[in-house]
Amino acid sequence: MQFIDLKAQYNNLKSEIDTNIQAVLESAKYIGGPQVKELETELAAFVGRKHCITCANGTDALQIAYMLYGIGEGDAVFCPDITFISSTEPSKMFGAASVFCDIQPDTYDLCPESLERQIKAVLAEGKLKPKAVVAVDILGNPCDYDAIIPICEKYGLILIEDAAQSFGASYKGKKCCSFGHVATTSFFPAKPLGCYGDGGAIFLDDDELAAVCRSICVHGKGPGGKYDNIRVGMNSRLDTIQAAILLPKLKALKAYEVDNRQVVAKRYNEAFAKDFTTPFVQEDCVSVYAQYAILAKDTATRDKVIAHLSEKKIPNMIYYPTPQHALPVFKNEPHYGETYRNADDYCARTLSLPMHPYLEEAEQQQIINGVLEAL
């Protein structure tokens, strides 16, 4: 049994993926082939953004987003306490401070009240400049943008949507990757839209910033090309082969994968509603369940379930065992007395189960039985 069955997806799309890879091999356009542009056009259209710029991975996409707005020394970047380190890794790299905020107790996304508390605390202290918010659609579940956007507007903050886990999800009719000044995603194989290696993308609407973004991705190239360097950039591109692999995968995501994820999640929800806290998705929103996480009633119960599943060779994971504020790398970040109660509680009780659009009902029943037996 697989935690995320990438092979089942490959078997389903094999002929198209193989043909596409072969075409790239024969074209010899390994960097910047026409499939890259085609993919960017399709991705932008799907999420409803003017521009999509692909790059080497989701972490680079975030770093480039920070670079677009010159985030650095003396700036405060606000971020939820439950995320993967990439969300604020660039803060530290560029000399800014990561200011963590608590999460919502139900969606596990950035808590708007905690965000505003932290912004006010930074302003009151007067040392750092509130600069940006990284809103992470955690586990594939969109943030509460109707609450977050007005706060960003009120304090003049840049909003970055980290949609690494939420490609295909939507918030009140708008697709993830369409929120904020800039949004980023990842095509790491296990993400809802994954390639066969590393990949990422940046989404925005502003024409000028889109041009800057393309320049940053290729060593700060200028109008004269890559030997006409006008700024410090990176070498961050999506390989043509990865674009060729993503094209049929995007088609499958649109046609049935997001729907299949809902079916799998619903079966889990019904099985676990009595004994666990199951995922909460806001009204009019669609989660892609990048991870399907349940909360046990306490840590001992969670650990008992893990032990039993592991004994039965049923894959399981904890996303994430440690909130960001407690990571050694962030030990010197300012906290302003925030308690991170919901984040700590989430980490203490969470457990993720196998989740992918190809999970068959019989296999899922084994997982459900394994979890319930443990109780």
Ligand X SMILES: *Cc1c(COP(=O)(O)O)cnc(C)c1O
- Cβ of residue 64: shortest distance to ligand X, in angstroms? 12
Q: What distance lies between CA 183 and its chain's CA centroid?
A: 10
20 is a site residue for ligand X (CB under 6 A): no
Can you read off the two tokens belonging to residue 248?
């049929």
**3 state DSSP class of 227:** strand
Question: What residue is closest to ligand X based on CB?
Answer: 58
Each residue 94-133 as x (binds ligand X by CB under 6 A) or -, in order, gives ----------------------------------------
How far the first Cα of the chain sits from its last, in Å, is 22
Q: At what angle do helices 299-311 and 361-374 cross, to 10 degrees?
A: 130
Q: Are strands 75-80 and 97-101 parallel, antiparallel or unpaired?
A: parallel
- Cβ of residue 56: shortest distance to ligand X, in angstroms? 8
**Residue with smaller CB distance to ligand X, 136 or 309:** 136
- Cβ of residue 166: shortest distance to ligand X, in angstroms? 9
**Residue with smaller CB distance to ligand X, 136 or 151:** 136
Out of 75, 81, 162, 338, the only residue in the binding site for ligand X (CB under 6 A) is: 162
The stretch among 8-16, 56-64, 228-236, 238-246 that binds ligand X (CB under 6 A) is 56-64
The stretch among 5-13, 84-92, 259-267, 366-374 that binds ligand X (CB under 6 A) is 84-92
Please report the sign of the dihedral spanned by the C-alpha atoms of residue 237, residue 241, residue 244, residue 247: negative
247-251 LR contacts (CB < 8 Å, sep 24+):
247/20, 247/35, 247/38, 247/39, 247/42, 248/13, 248/16, 248/17, 248/20, 249/9, 249/13, 249/17, 249/193, 249/194, 249/195, 250/39, 250/42, 250/43, 250/46, 250/193
- Cβ of residue 93: shortest distance to ligand X, in angstroms? 14
200 is a site residue for ligand X (CB under 6 A): yes
91 is a site residue for ligand X (CB under 6 A): no
- Cβ of residue 246: shortest distance to ligand X, in angstroms? 13
58 is a site residue for ligand X (CB under 6 A): yes
**Residue with smaller CB distance to ligand X, 80 or 357:** 80
289 is a site residue for ligand X (CB under 6 A): no
328-332 LR contacts (CB < 8 Å, sep 24+):
329/85, 329/92, 330/88, 330/92, 330/98, 330/100
The stretch among 102-110, 162-170, 250-258, 320-328 that binds ligand X (CB under 6 A) is 162-170
- Cβ of residue 62: shortest distance to ligand X, in angstroms? 6
**Residue with smaller CB distance to ligand X, 160 or 371:** 160
Would you list the DSSP string of 158-221? EEEEE-TT-TT-EETTEETTSSSSEEEEE--TTSSS--SS--EEEEE--HHHHHHHHHHHBTTE
186 is a site residue for ligand X (CB under 6 A): yes
59 is a site residue for ligand X (CB under 6 A): yes
Out of 35, 83, 98, 282, the only residue in the binding site for ligand X (CB under 6 A) is: 83
Would you list the DSSP string of 329-360? GGTTS--TT---HHHHHHHHHEEEE---TT--
Out of 67, 97, 136, 295, the only residue in the binding site for ligand X (CB under 6 A) is: 136
Contact residues: ligand X, CB under 6 A: 57-59, 83-84, 86-87, 136, 162, 164-165, 186, 188, 198, 200
